[in-house]
Amino acid sequence: MKRKITLKQIAKELGVSIGTVSKALKDSKEISEETKEKIQAFAKYYNYKPNNIALSLKNRKTKTIGILIPEIVHHFFSKVIQGIEKVANKKGYNVIIGLSNESFDKEVINMEMLASGSIDGFIMSISKETLLQQDYHHLNETINQGMPIVMFDRVVSDIRCDKVIINDVEAAKKAVNKLIKNNCKKIAIITTKDYVNVGRLRTQGYVEALNDHEIAPEPELILKVDDKLVTEDYIDVLEEEIKSLFLINPDIDGVFAVNELYAITTMKVAKNLGRKIPEDLQVIGFTDGVLSRHASPSLTTVTQYGQKIGEVAAALLIEKIESEASEDPVRTVVIETELIERESTK
């Protein structure tokens, strides 16, 4: 077990100075060909690789970007990570991951931990608890220390940083318009509580789409699921709520769900109640994950290109990290969404 070799050891072994070794390995013309060859050969033989930590300290750059997300066992988030990793890697960056588990405290702790020199910038999606408490001091402090942040998905607009989002309102309208066009007369929405901004915006899109077609939105068709505590029997509760929605409003013939799980669960409940999909009931979900593709019937859904979001976020962040200007304008990039039609709609 030999420790990694350092410049100092090479220098000592070859009877030259550390500086000379460093320059030789960088092919500096300050050093004679002869010496360079000797040093390079030696370094190659011992598989010398510069120590990243020392470089980071010297350059005050870590070449690492931090990702801070609520959870990782989630198709959308892992797609985003994949996208981030792809462009980060291409530009010589590593990614380090922090999970908040939807907890405010863990988000703050993780952020402070990573902000203490470990990374050059953040890409993040805010936890639900933070959204609920509306306490963003950790974000502002980080930004004030000159560390760039790019937010995606769950963003908060009055933070001064770049953002990568989709147009949730428009995307939701696309979905609901499709249901209306497909002759649905009574369209329900399964959504989240309003403090989750993406849920709120999608609900807003639902309402707007109905209004556009002069359909009066009915409050009892709007089911706002409380998912603050995702417990074991979470799915059961969800099923119960959806079931009573159908029992109270038996003539629902279209459902727009703001995520995959709500949509899949809706189909399951509806099938158990004897509904045929898409004949009796048409369902559209949000986010194109593995569930939508492989459910039966497969799910028509609004896809938000997660990988693309990650790629753009990483590109924005790296650009900001490497730009000299300390105060350039904040940008918001809107990624297109698309309605993917499958078997759950006519």
Partner DNA sequence: TACTAACACGAAAACGTTTTCGCTAAGAAT
Partner DNA sequence: ATTCTTAGCGAAAACGTTTTCGTGTTAGTA
The residues that touch DNA, with contacts defined as CB under 7 A, are: 4, 6-8, 15-20, 22-23, 25-26, 29-36, 48, 50-51, 54-55, 57-58, 60
Q: How many other β-carbons are positioned within 10 Å of the β-carbon of residue 308?
A: 17
- 14/159 with CB nearer DNA: 14
8 Å CB contact between 256 and 210: no
The answer to whether the CB of 109 falls within 8 A of the CB of 139 is no
CA dihedral of residues 298, 304, 308, 309 (deg, nearest 10): -140
Does residue 219 sit in helix, strand or coil?
helix
Q: Is 278 in the site for a copy of itself (CB under 8 A)?
A: no
Query: Of 53-61, 246-254, 280-288, 316-324, which segment contacts a copy of itself by CB under 8 A?
Result: 53-61
Rounded to 5°, the CA angle 152-156-162 comes to 50
Closer of 16 and 97 to a copy of itself (Cβ): 97
Site for a copy of itself in 112-141 (CB under 8 A): 112-118, 141
Q: Does 111 bind a copy of itself (CB under 8 A)?
A: no
Residue 116 CB, nearest approach to a copy of itself (Å) = 4
| Residue 118 interacting entry, from DNA, a copy of itself, none, C-beta within 5 to 8 Å by type | a copy of itself
Selection from a copy of itself, DNA, none that 229 binds (CB < 5 to 8 A by kind) is none
Q: Is 51 in the site for a copy of itself (CB under 8 A)?
A: yes
Q: Which is nearer to DNA, 51 or 82 (CB)?
A: 51
User: What is the x/- site pattern for a copy of itself, positions 136-175, by CB under 8 A?
Assistant: -----x--xxx-----------------------------
Beta strands in the chain, from DSSP E residues, in sequence order: 64-69, 94-99, 121-124, 149-152, 162-166, 187-192, 222-225, 254-257, 282-286, 300-304, 332-335, 337-340
Q: Quick one: 285 exposed, middle or buried, by C-beta within 10 A (0-12, 13-18, 19+)?
A: buried
| Helix axes 75-90 and 306-322, enclosed angle (nearest 10) | 40
Nearer to DNA, 22 or 204 (CB): 22
Tokens at 72, concatenated: 């990782």
Cis peptide before 50 (omega within 30 of 0): no
**Per-residue DSSP letters for 37-72?**
HHHHHHHHHTT----HHHHHHHHT---EEEEEES-S
> Of the candidates 91, 268, 308, 346, which one interacts with a copy of itself according to CB under 8 A?
268
78 lies in the binding site for a copy of itself (CB under 8 A): yes
State which of residues 33, 34, 53, 158 lies at the interface with a copy of itself (CB under 8 A). Answer: 53
Count, residues near a copy of itself per rule CB under 8 A: 57
Contact between 274 and a copy of itself (CB under 8 A)?
Answer: no
* Nearer CB in complex with a copy of itself: 244/272: 272
